[in-house]
Amino acid sequence: MSVSRRNALKKIGAIVGSGTMAGWLGSMENLEALLGSELNGNVNHSVCKWTFGDIPLDEFCQAAKEIGLQSVELLGPDEWPTLKKHGLTCAMPWGAGKGIEEGFNNLQLHDELIADYERVIPMVADAGFDKIICFSGNRNGMDDEVGLENCAKGLKRLMSTAEEYDVTVCMELLNSKVNHPDYMCDHTEWGVELCKQVGSDRFKLLYDIYHMQIMDGDVIRTIRDNHQYIAHYHTGGVPGRNEIDETQELYYPAIIKAIVDTGYTGFIGQEFIPTWDNELDALREAVEICDV
Same domain, 33 and 60: no
Same domain, 11 and 149: no
**Confidence band, pLDDT 50/70/90 cuts, at residue 37:** low
Same domain, 11 and 92: no
Per-residue H/E/C for the chain: CCHHHHHHHHHHHHHHHHCCCCCHHHCHHHHHHHHCCCCCCCCEEEEEHHHHCCCCHHHHHHHHHHHCCCEEECCCHHHHHHHHHCCCECCCCCCCCCCCCCCCCCHHHHHHHHHHHHHHHHHHHHCCCCEEEECCCECCCCCHHHHHHHHHHHHHHHHHHHHHHCCEEEEECCCCCCCCCCECCCCHHHHHHHHHHHCCCCEEEEEEHHHHHHHCCCHHHHHHHHHHHEEEEECCCCCCCCCCCCCCCCCHHHHHHHHHHCCCCCEEEECCCCCCCCHHHHHHHHHHHHCC
Boundaries of domain holding 25: 1-37
- Give per-residue pLDDT as tens, 58-105: 999 999 999 999 999 999 999 999 999 999 999 999 999 999 999 999
Same domain, 172 and 227: yes
Same domain, 147 and 279: yes
Contact at 8 Å (CB) between 173 and 187?
yes
**Confidence band, pLDDT 50/70/90 cuts, at residue 121:** very high
Same domain, 28 and 172: no
CA angle 272, 80, 290 (to 5 degrees): 30
Please state the domain count of the chain.
Answer: 2
Same domain, 217 and 232: yes
Same domain, 183 and 206: yes
pTM for this model (two decimals):
0.89
Same domain, 20 and 47: no
Same domain, 243 and 164: yes
Nearest Cα residue to 238 out of 203, 263, 199, 209 = 209
The CATH number of residue 131's host domain is 3.20.20.150
Same domain, 88 and 205: yes
- Give per-residue pLDDT as tens, 198-245: 999 999 999 999 999 999 999 999 999 999 999 999 999 999 999 999
> Does residue 23 register a pLDDT over 50?
no
Q: Averaged over 279-286, what is the pLDDT?
A: 98
- Give per-residue pLDDT as tens, 163-197: 999 999 999 999 999 999 999 999 999 999 999 99
Q: Averaged over 113-122, what is the pLDDT?
A: 98
- Give per-residue pLDDT as tens, 126-157: 999 999 999 999 999 999 999 999 999 999 99
Same domain, 23 and 100: no
